[in-house]
Amino acid sequence: MLVDLAKHGRELYKHNSLSREEILRYSEENFRKTLKYAYKNSDFYKKLYLSKGIMYKDLDDILIKDIPIITKQQIRENFYDISVKKIDKKEIDKILASEKLLLRIKDRYIVHTSGTTGIPTNFIYDKRALRMLSANFIRLTMRGGNVKLGLSDIPLKNLYIAPVGGGYACTALALFGMEEYKCKSRVINAQKPLNQWIDLIRNYNPNYLSGYPSCLNLVAELKEQGKINITPKKIITGGEPLTRECIEIYKKVFGADIIDYYGCTESIFIGARSNNEKRMYLYDDLNYVEIDDENHLIITPLYNKAFPLIRYRLSDVVYGFNKEGDGDLPYTYIRKIMGRNEEIMWFVNERGKRDFLHPLFLDDLNVRGISKYQFVQKSLNYFELRCIYESIGNRQLKKEELEYQLHAFLKEKNLENVKYNIRFVEHLQVSQNTGKSKLVIKEI
């Protein structure tokens, strides 16, 4: 299996040497293959395109801009019709209700969005797609960098630290790699108290360190304080903006190559930048990429046949989208991703020690009837939870259920001294730049 992983990684790496014209041709050819496959195998797309007067015979010549854009709401409303294989709703409900981290039904893997911009939405990946994404990590780590991986680094060891939950896309990919390729990886749930991180890391020295910047910053602090001693060769981080300050800290503390990884639940890999590159490349061989008039990114993943997404509009807004091919790599690139800035809430526990709640840890809150919520930190031991309640029912019972879940979260982090207030509202505060509601607002 590891031989196949390395082989496919090298094949992807060769794409880095293609011309811009070859990459664009490859991307469009695979876009049309994916489009035809979806038309033939997905009830949703056939009905959608027929309703717009688009016949199968038109798919070779139709302008891509004339193909309808789809949204997350359409995915949510047509989940079972989009899937190319019939899947039983009872099976989905059962696996989502389980406590498993890797949600699998036969050869299909279920992941879901976090719900920060609305109701969580499910997506499906097949084994071929996850193998392709794993091979892409080989491609990313082969490109440049000052620190090389060698035979002594096999089997690969990855330390992944992030809010971990069943159905989280990156958690699924990390666990799939451990299962499929027998990688000696270790996954640490960011919701665990910091002293447990130390115990889990102390006797483990990975060659990869991965996770959200907010989590890796804490790992860097632990190493600077002499509480752990790890020397990763590659750091892969994503999910939050990677600042120049973070890059300098990682270089100083770890001396590793840094890969800023961009992906989402809908397409677990979209792009990456290495070390101090000012451009983030969007790899056109894995996604056909576009933007709309408001600079929202539109993607068509080219590697996941199980659940086709054709011209799917993300909520992400990108800056500096460039398809001219004038970069060091033959791919589309952007300057910046706007509106993806989750923040940690720091509190002081009853012993006077600082500890945190990560927003995606809190995002596990799940109470039927509450579609959106927002945390407003007021002090080092108090926050307010604002909720939009859309169902008819006993609001007091919903409040009690929220209190029960919040208490469990705070207890697990030894933050039972932190107080909070639950407030039902009609609207959440949104960013004027992106139109998205932030999960965490700080009013300290």
d(CA 257, CA 141): 9
What is the structure's pLDDT at 332?
98
Q: Which two tokens stand for residue 39?
A: 């038309």
Of the candidates 322, 344, 341, 342, which has an alpha carbon nearest to the alpha carbon of residue 333? Answer: 322
Contact 280/261 with Cβ under 8 angstroms?
no
Low-confidence ranges of the chain (pLDDT < 70): 1, 115-118, 144, 151, 339-343, 359-364, 391-393, 431-436
| Domains of the chain, start order | 2-338 (3.40.50.12780), 345-442 (3.30.300.30)
Q: Give strand pairing partners of 158.
A: 208
d(CA 82, CA 34): 13
d(CA 164, CA 119): 19
d(CA 401, CA 202): 37
Stated as kind and residue range, the H or E segment containing 221 is helix 213-224
Contact 85/306 with Cβ under 8 angstroms?
yes
What is the structure's pLDDT at 341?
43
Stated as kind and residue range, the H or E segment containing 387 is strand 382-389
pTM of the model: 0.80
What is the structure's pLDDT at 363?
61
d(CA 218, CA 337): 23
Stated as kind and residue range, the H or E segment containing 439 is none
